[in-house]
Amino acid sequence: MLSANFVIFIAVAYIFLLFILAYFSDRSQKMGKKSFLNSPLVYTLSISVYCTSWTFYGAVGSAARNGLEFLAIYLGPTLVFVGWWFILRKLVRVGREQRITSIADLLSSRFGKSNRLGVLVTLIAVIGTTPYIALQLKAITNSIQVISASGNSSAISGFGDGTLALGIAALMALFTIFFGTRNVDANEQHHGVVAAIAFEAIVKLVAFIAVGIFVVFFVGGGVGNIFAKANEAGIDIYRADSFGPRWIAILFLSAAAILCLPRQFQITVVENANEGHLRTAGWAFPAYLFLMSLFTIPIALYGLTALPEGSNPDMFVLTLPLAEGNTLLALFAFIGGFSSATSMIIIATIALSIMISNHIVMPIALRSSENLGTEDGRGVTRLLLTSRRVSIIFVLFLGFLYFWFSGNSDALASMGLIAFAGVAQFLPSMIAALYWREASVNGAIWATFIGFLVWAWTLFLPSFENSSQAVANLISEGPFGLEFLRPQALFGMSNMDPLVHSVFWSVLLNVVTLIVVSLFTKQSSLERIQANMFVDVFSLKKTGQAELVRGSATANDLMFVAQRVLGGKRAYEIFEGFAKQSGVKREELIVTSEFISRLEKELAGTIGAASAHVVLSKVLSGGEVSLEEVMQIADETQQVIEYSQRLEQTTKKLRATAKELKQANESLTQLDKQKDDFLSKVSHEVRTPMTSIRSFSEILLTHDDIGDEQRNKFVSTINQESKRLTNLLDEILDLNALEKGERIWVNRLVNGEEILERTINICSPIAMQKNVLLKRGAKASNDNINAEPDRLAQVYINIITNAIKYNDAKDPIITISSMSKAGFYIVDIADNGSGIAKQDAELIFEKFSRGRRTQGGDDGGLGLGLAISREIIDKMSGSLELIETNNSGACFRVKIPLTKEE
């Protein structure tokens, strides 16, 4: 067994270790080293400040009493982190852009830098957090009692419970003051503290898993064995009643808590050094929670079966190793529990102290002193540090008092979820702050206030039921005998779980108030500006506008204020930086609205948005322009920028339309040109025969002395030319009709091979005449096609006669082959001539174009043949093209889809 003194010594030594760790982390950060302290891992570990002693010890107790309910407390935050891209990312971005210092500051800043809202949120946070701190103190004293086995709760080797708790609270205060308020940071980040918290996160995780492994694998004989034994002992291991409204309520509360608990906000948003860290935390924090809860059920079940009846399940983590005689492990578990308690106390206290000093102390100080401590240059800084230190002591002392007065009652045990429900009242306003532009300050104040009242009435007050007879009476009879106001059965809703009842009413009334009041109140210009800054945080471009503020304070006045609040060095840096950016010397700096809003943000990073606003208003009100007006100007600028962005978009659309019109115009011009070409070609083609007809007929008319032979020759020429003319006109009409689809066209089922053979027979005399060899190549196996046989033959004849006509080879050969392939009947007609130049491959299908090689020698071709052929094949759903082959000559391919035989 361990002596109490030894355990206390270990605890103090552990805190001392934290001091050293925090000190060296702070120092390495100061020296500007890029250490692992800035890694996403440390960020993720520090978020696990969520796991307090309430979850370290209490989860096992909860699992023993309520089955799987404890899992909901981990699954809610898991969902929030799985969806980090949507809420957390925006929250962190807003937090960084607006230099948010706490959740009170977030809401106050968004809702027109309202200090009333800041005060309200701060008060609720203090009321909700103090009992939670008391719970940690209780967990620490309880665990010391258990592990030192004094058995007697009133005296541990000379210490009373209270003395012990007070001592621990004092040590925590010392640590927090030392590392939480060493200086007033530009952005409220405490690297030393975060490092210590990350270290504690590892300690508690390893301690819990160590106990888990010990219980499951060393004494319990495996997971299956533990469940089997528990089942034998009559414990309901299935807990079919676990999942009802209460499960959903706890999921909701824990999801809200991971966003709204002051300590979570501090760690997740304020201490965030890099938005990218969320990327890792998104999966790593749920993984941490997963590991943390993996062994909870086996420990609880084994504790219920192995330990004597009546043992406190909340202390199984300690009592199980002790019962097995493993004191070293028990001590380690104690340190794990101790670290989870201390980390919560440290961060919660820092967060609360910032809220108290920025939203309660500063506004009062600003109101009472007209000239910001002129007698001493560092007045505000000193005031801030002092008020924070006092706040820390105040908060911890409050926690201690709470612990002292409710010490032996069980009012503390349920405090975890009660605190969750309390801070959940911030959630509606917080979500509205990020996503609902119309939400107004009055809406937020009333919603939070009413939600808080309902919570206090239905959940917080009833937690004193066992320690106060008056409260017990109130619960059973209602105030002044008004039954419908009974805290746990508002309006007669009596058969609900008290937690579900409270969450339902408080959140419902909260949301309804927020919406209704926001819709019925008007936003001030400052609110509207802030609403845009928050809601559009991802889409707003930073304004590069340099608006001259007429008649307002000079740069010197502002410098004076900045020095008071930020300290001389930092103020100098800001002014210097801004001067450099606008390209002037610091002394010549001109006060622009941009500079004022930047300065206000810097000030807000130290004293909160509301106070910063008041401070600057004071300075600027001396001039002709008030800060409200400056903000108005900024807002108008913003609107102008938005307008010009929209204009730009419209212009872009117009440009696109213009481009389309231009393209349409181009293609029309092209068509017009084609028409002109066509007409001129037709005229040319018509003119040649007409000229010869005219001249021959003129000769016949004017010369009577022509011999019969001559006359016959002339007449036959006229006849020939007329025929040619008719042919030409026929073809033009034909083509025109084909293109316009005027001719009735009937495709029917025919044999492609038959038509091809017929064509070859027709062409062979012409070929023989010109000494061209017509060769028949491969034959298709399947030739059922839908076609107009005469028209198809016309196409074949056209191609073959062309091939005969233009073949300039020594031994001209034309190869005609056919095949059926991939659903097509294909006919290739190839010659061994000099082929067709590549650039002419498409041109030859145009009207009146002949291959280049024939230019000059007129041989009666009209140049319409291929155009008509292509048109015909199109009508048969096929294609006609010139394909490339290995041979020198041209090869035309006719491709017609095969039909399925019926």
# residues contacting another protein (CB under 8 A): 45
Is residue 880 classed as helix, strand or coil in its secondary structure?
A: strand
Shortest Cβ 83–another protein spacing (Å): 3
Instruction: State which residue, 86 or 484, has the beta carbon closest to another protein.
Output: 86
**390 counts as binding another protein under rule CB under 8 A:** no
**777 counts as binding another protein under rule CB under 8 A:** no
Shortest Cβ 530–another protein spacing (Å): 16
Amino acid identity, residue 769? Answer: Q
Among the listed residues 359, 347, 410, the one whose alpha carbon sits nearest the alpha carbon of residue 384? 359
Phi-psi region of 554 (alpha: psi -120 to 50; beta: other; left: phi over 0): beta
Phi-psi region of 244 (alpha: psi -120 to 50; beta: other; left: phi over 0): beta
Count Cα atoms within 13 angstroms, Cβ side, for 352: 30
Beta bridge partner(s), residue 593: none
Shortest Cβ 646–another protein spacing (Å): 7
| φ/ψ (deg, to 5) at 854 | -95, 0
Shortest Cβ 75–another protein spacing (Å): 5
Question: How many Å apart are CA 819 and CA 153, to the nearest integer?
Answer: 102
Among the listed residues 30, 424, 26, the one whose alpha carbon sits nearest the alpha carbon of residue 251? 424
Shortest Cβ 29–another protein spacing (Å): 22
Instruction: State which residue, 224 or 765, has the beta carbon closest to another protein.
Output: 224
Question: How many Å apart are CA 571 and CA 580, to the nearest integer?
Answer: 14
**251 counts as binding another protein under rule CB under 8 A:** yes
Six-digit token pair at 627?
């800060």
Residue with tokens 């104690």: 334
| Relative orientation angle of helices 415-423 and 498-520, to the nearest 10 degrees | 10
Shortest Cβ 478–another protein spacing (Å): 32
Residues in 64-123 at the binding interface with another protein, rule: CB under 8 A: 68, 71, 75, 78-79, 81-86
Any residues with CB less than 8 A from the CB of 39 and at least 6 apart, and which? Answer: 277
**238 counts as binding another protein under rule CB under 8 A:** yes
**243 counts as binding another protein under rule CB under 8 A:** yes
Amino acid identity, residue 622? Answer: G
What is the DSSP secondary structure assignment for residue 550, as one 8-state letter? T
The residue range among 44-52, 239-247, 523-531, 718-726 that interacts with another protein, by the rule CB under 8 A, is 239-247
Residues in 514-543 at the binding interface with another protein, rule: CB under 8 A: 536-542
Which of 31, 232, 234, 240 forms a contact with another protein (CB under 8 A)? 240
Shortest Cβ 208–another protein spacing (Å): 16
Among the listed residues 614, 594, 592, 593, the one whose alpha carbon sits nearest the alpha carbon of residue 603? 614
Question: How many Å apart are CA 620 and CA 676, to the nearest integer?
Answer: 77
Shortest Cβ 540–another protein spacing (Å): 6
Among the listed residues 248, 249, 247, 250, the one whose alpha carbon sits nearest the alpha carbon of residue 239? 247
146: Cα separation from own chain's centroid: 48
Residues in 627-656 at the binding interface with another protein, rule: CB under 8 A: 645-646, 649
Shortest Cβ 146–another protein spacing (Å): 28
Six-digit token pair at 677?
């070409």
Which of 160, 244, 622, 741 forms a contact with another protein (CB under 8 A)? 244
**9 counts as binding another protein under rule CB under 8 A:** no
Give 3-state DSSP helix, strand, coil % of the chain, rounded to 5.
70, 5, 25
**598 counts as binding another protein under rule CB under 8 A:** no
Shortest Cβ 647–another protein spacing (Å): 11
The residue range among 12-20, 241-249, 697-705, 735-743 that interacts with another protein, by the rule CB under 8 A, is 241-249
Residues in 800-819 at the binding interface with another protein, rule: CB under 8 A: none
Instruction: State which residue, 236 or 884, has the beta carbon closest to another protein.
Output: 236
Draw the binding track, 265-304, toward another protein (x: CB under 8 A; -: no contact). --------------xx-xx--xx--x---x--x-------
Chain positions contacting another protein, by CB under 8 A: 68, 71, 75, 78-79, 81-86, 222-225, 227-228, 237-238, 240, 242-244, 247-248, 251, 279-280, 282-283, 286-287, 290, 294, 297, 536-542, 645-646, 649
